[in-house]
Structure 1
Amino acid sequence: MPIGGIPQWLTIRGDDCANPVVLIVHGGPGNPNTPFADRLFGAWSRTVTVVQWDQRGAGKTFAATRPAEGEALTMAQLSQDGVEVARYAAQRLGKRKVILMGGSWGSALAVHMAMAAPELFQAYVGTAQLVDYYADTAASYASTIALAKAADDADSVGKLQKIGPPPWKDPRAFGVLRRVTRKYEAQGSDAAPKGWFTFGPGYDTPDYEAAYEAGEDYSFLNFVGLAGDGMGPRIDLRKLGVRFAMPVYLLQGEQDLVTPPQISRAYFDEIVAPKKVFIPLARTGHDPNRTMVDAQYEVLQRVRAEATEGGSR
């Protein structure tokens, strides 16, 4: 579909157009869920209509329109794109509002969308909520290096001491920390089912896989910035205000070392909304697993039931 002046890739999957619509705002940035959607969200189509969107600079959108040399991604442009996608999905499916769901990077983008066009959204469901880049990365670094020291893990400690605590100017520093967080999250969380993140039909081609990887690299560099000046370091959701016009549900992995629970919880406590619920997820880190996806679906069913009781659609 033409979104924001370029062709952007959307998929819409559901059994009944009368069902509520959920727009999934993927993380990364640059990591669309579309190649894996059937495995992760296929069962959802019985009760909700799922809209997937490959963001500007990612997946099939990146493949269709590769950014010009030096062209930067911005939160403002991506938020504007997202609002346009939400409006299109609502009109296409005959809804006044859609449910907005974002995770990790997508949770920060989704909050920008919710604040920019609150009239479009029935509820906001955030997972692994990214709140404040500097607060999140500082807490991530402190927790992770403490775990590595407690485990006498000289290799991980050495890598973390080499990059030092944030803020960083080296674009590789975030990736160094992320690799160590995965190691320690794996020790206290349940892994995703085998095969979840294998490219599905229509995406399992060499050309697409190459485009996916190239879009991921492009988007990530725009997130961290070549000198610590990307989209990520500018994220501080409190600057948008903490008053939401729609119910807010935040799901948080208890073992998440990337968007640590204490940062997400502190933000949640400040939020003012018609309804708000904080849901801790046991044995869950930053990345999706069965516990996370099942909890997301349960929240969507709660939103669906509340909408039915309230007479909205």
Structure 2
Amino acid sequence: MNMIIFRRGENMLQIILFLFMGLLFLISLLFELFLTIRCMVLKRKGKDRGKLHKKMKSSLIISLTLFICIFAGGILSQLSAYTPKIKDSQGNAVQGSIAELRKVELNGREEWISIRGNSLNNPILLFLAGGPGGSQIAAVRYNLEELEKNFIVVNWDQPGSGKSYNAIDAEDISIDTYIEDGEALTTYLCSEFGKEKIFMVGESWGSALGVFLAKNDPQNYYAFIGTGQMVDFLETEKIDYNLAIELANKNNDNKKVEKLINNGEPPYYGSELLGKSTEYLNYLGSYMIHNEKIHNAGYQTLRDISASEYGMLDKINYLRGLMDVFGTFYPKLYNVDLRKQYSEIDVPVYFFQGRHDINAPAKLVQEYYDTLKAPSKDLIWFEHSGHSPWINENELFIENLLKIRNQYASDYK
């Protein structure tokens, strides 16, 4: 799992502040509307409320004007969303580069991708975001920009997330939804850019999706790189839950221990899933933030959500996707155990694993690696990373990814 507001160690206060600002505006608008309606009712009853009416009318006009401006601005922001041009050291656009947001139709669903690269001659790298329901179009651009020099980096907002939030109702999303759309997107990219195969990186939830895709259509991929690799979703939740209790006991955090014990061990379902999962996922995220052995531990959600790739509605759906899709889809993963169901893949597989990752237990990753049969495989440990080596040690992450790219250079040149 890779919920930014849960697993990623994001500062919850930032997200609360973002939501609180929007809530304040809504409350103020409703309050102004209430006072104006009250004034109108009093006047109809024959009471002289001229001054109050005049004041409320002026206030309503201001509020409505503000609302219209925000509404119009929201539409304009959606239409003007863009991904920045790729520029050289002098600030000039790189000739022959590509930098665009593109809406694609996948199995009848309208979904969005970003495409960025210095040259169309480079191989394609498809990045599968975590979540489920996460959008990392901006986060990948900020953290892995160097990859654009050697790949055409494609970032996919999966159905129900970010810019693709409205592609499908969250309740209707199944594992097959992601697999079918991932296969359709791979076919589209190969056809659009004249490639026979592509590289694929999956992080957290995306690491499981990448395994599904590689298993189903190995002929489409040079290699799969999983980071923050998920293996057995239900066992992971139980391990994380018990680890949170262990850490809380060490910290003498008796209230947290009591809360976790009262919630009971996962699995959780329905309306209780989000709240109960938050109790231990946030605790583990906070622990990694304060782990001095992890470099650059924090996510920068406000930076990412403010990026030019997201219009105003996208920014709202950025958060809605995380909460809605997680709450409805995650239990559908409880029966997934890659060690048993995906023990053989006809694609080279590489795991980039943070040594201090307590979200995707190292024990499970090692067991899966030992079990896995693939044309070639490697488990690379990142000694100063938690769940996100691509952020914690992004330079080393890029370096290792380029080594893998170069192994297959003769195939795509």
**How many Å separate the matches in 1 of 2:345 and 2:148?**
27
The secondary structure found in structure 2 opposite 1:10 is strand
Residue 344 of structure 2 is aligned to residue 243 of structure 1: yes
Whole-angstrom CA distance in 2 between matches of 1:289 and 1:95: 25
Cα distance 1:196–1:305, how it changes in 2: closer, same or farther (>3 A)? farther
Match of 2:183 among 83, 88, 93: 83
8 A Cα contact 1:99 1:124, kept in partner: yes
Tell me, in whole angstroms, the C-alpha distance in 2 between the residues paired with 1:50 and 1:13: 5
- Structure with the higher fraction of residues in helix conformation: 2
Give the Cα–Cα distance (whole angstroms) in 2 for the partners of residues 302 and 62 of structure 1.
35
1:22 & 1:285 partners in 2: Cα distance?
Answer: 23
CA contact (8 A) 2:161 2:322 kept: yes
**Distance in 1 between residues matched to 2:335 and 2:133, nearest whole Å:** 18
Amino acid at match of 2:255: D
1:97 corresponds to which of 189, 197, 204: 197
Instruction: State how 1:107-122 maps to structure 2 within 5 Å.
Output: 107-122=207-222
- Does residue 216 of the first structure (1) align with residue 322 of the second (2)? yes
What does the per-residue CA deviation read over 1:194-248, in whole Å, with 9 as the maximum and x for residues that have no partner? Answer: 8575135434543221121222222111233xxxxx2221322234331121211
Q: What residue is the counterpart of 2:157 in the other structure? A: 54
For the pair shown, which has the larger CA radius of gyration, 1 or 2? 2
Unaligned runs of 5+ in 1: 225-229
What code does the residue aligned with 2:149 have?
Answer: R
Corresponding residue for 1:106?
Answer: 206
AA matched with 2:263? I
The SS at the match of 1:12 is strand
User: Within the alignment, does 1:233 sit opposite 2:323 as a pair?
Assistant: no
Name 2:278's counterpart in structure 1: 175
CA distance in structure 1 between the partners assigned to 2:253 and 2:355 by the alignment: 22
- Normalised to the residue count of structure 2, the TM-score between the two structures is 0.69
Following superposition of structure 1 onto structure 2, how do residues 148-167 of structure 1 map, counting pairs within 5 Å? Answer: 148-167=248-267
Q: d(CA) in 2 for partners of 1:125 and 1:155?
A: 40
**In the alignment, what sits opposite 1:227?**
none
Q: Secondary structure at the match of 2:172?
A: coil
Find the counterpart in structure 2 of residue 147 from structure 1: 247
- The AA in structure 2 aligned to 1:32 is S
Residue identity opposite 1:55 in structure 2: Q
* Cα separation, 2, equivalents of 1:163 and 1:191: 32
AA partner of residue 158 (structure 1): E
CA RMSD in angstroms, aligned pairs only: 2.1
Q: Distance in 2 between matches of 1:191 and 1:291?
A: 5
Q: Distance in 1 between matches of 2:352 and 2:316?
A: 32
Q: How many Å apart are 1:160 and its aligned residue?
A: 1.9
Contact 2:123 2:412 in 1 (8 A): no
Shift of 1:46: 0.6
Alignment of 1:193-204 (within 5 A): 195=300, 198=303, 199-203=305-309
Counterparts of 1:281 and 1:163 in 2: how far apart (Å)? 34
Pairwise CA distance, 1:190: 2.5
* Contact 1:36/1:200 (<8 A) preserved: no
Aligned position for 2:386: 285
Which AA in structure 2 matches 1:264?
Answer: V
**Structure 1 residue 159 displacement after superposition:** 2.6
State the AA in 1 paired with 2:113: L
Query: Quick one: distance in 1 between partners of 2:358 and 2:253?
Result: 17
Q: Which residue of 2 aligns with 1:12?
A: 115
Structure 1 window deviating more from structure 2 (142-151 vs 199-208): it is 199-208
How many residues are aligned here?
304
- % identical aligned pairs: 27
**What residue in structure 1 maps to residue 229 of structure 2?**
129
Looking at structure 2, the residues matched to 233 and 28 of structure 1 have their Cα atoms a distance apart, in angstroms, of 15
For the Cα contact (< 8 Å) 1:136–1:259, is it kept in 2? Answer: yes
CA contact (8 A) 2:109 2:168 kept: no
The answer to whether structure 1 residue 263 and structure 2 residue 364 are counterparts is yes
Residue 177 of structure 1: how far off its partner (Å) = 1.5
For 1:209, give the aligned amino acid.
K
My pick for the range that moved more, 24-33 or 149-158, is 149-158
Q: Tell me how far 1:135 sits from its aligned partner.
A: 1.7
In structure 2, what is the Cα distance between the partners aligned to 1:34 and 1:284?
Answer: 21
Instruction: State how far apart, in whole Å, the 2-side matches of 1:307 and 1:111 are.
Output: 19
| SS state at 1:87 partner | helix
How far apart in 1 are the matches of 2:196 and 2:105?
Answer: 21
Tell me the secondary structure at the aligned position of residue 230 of structure 2.
coil
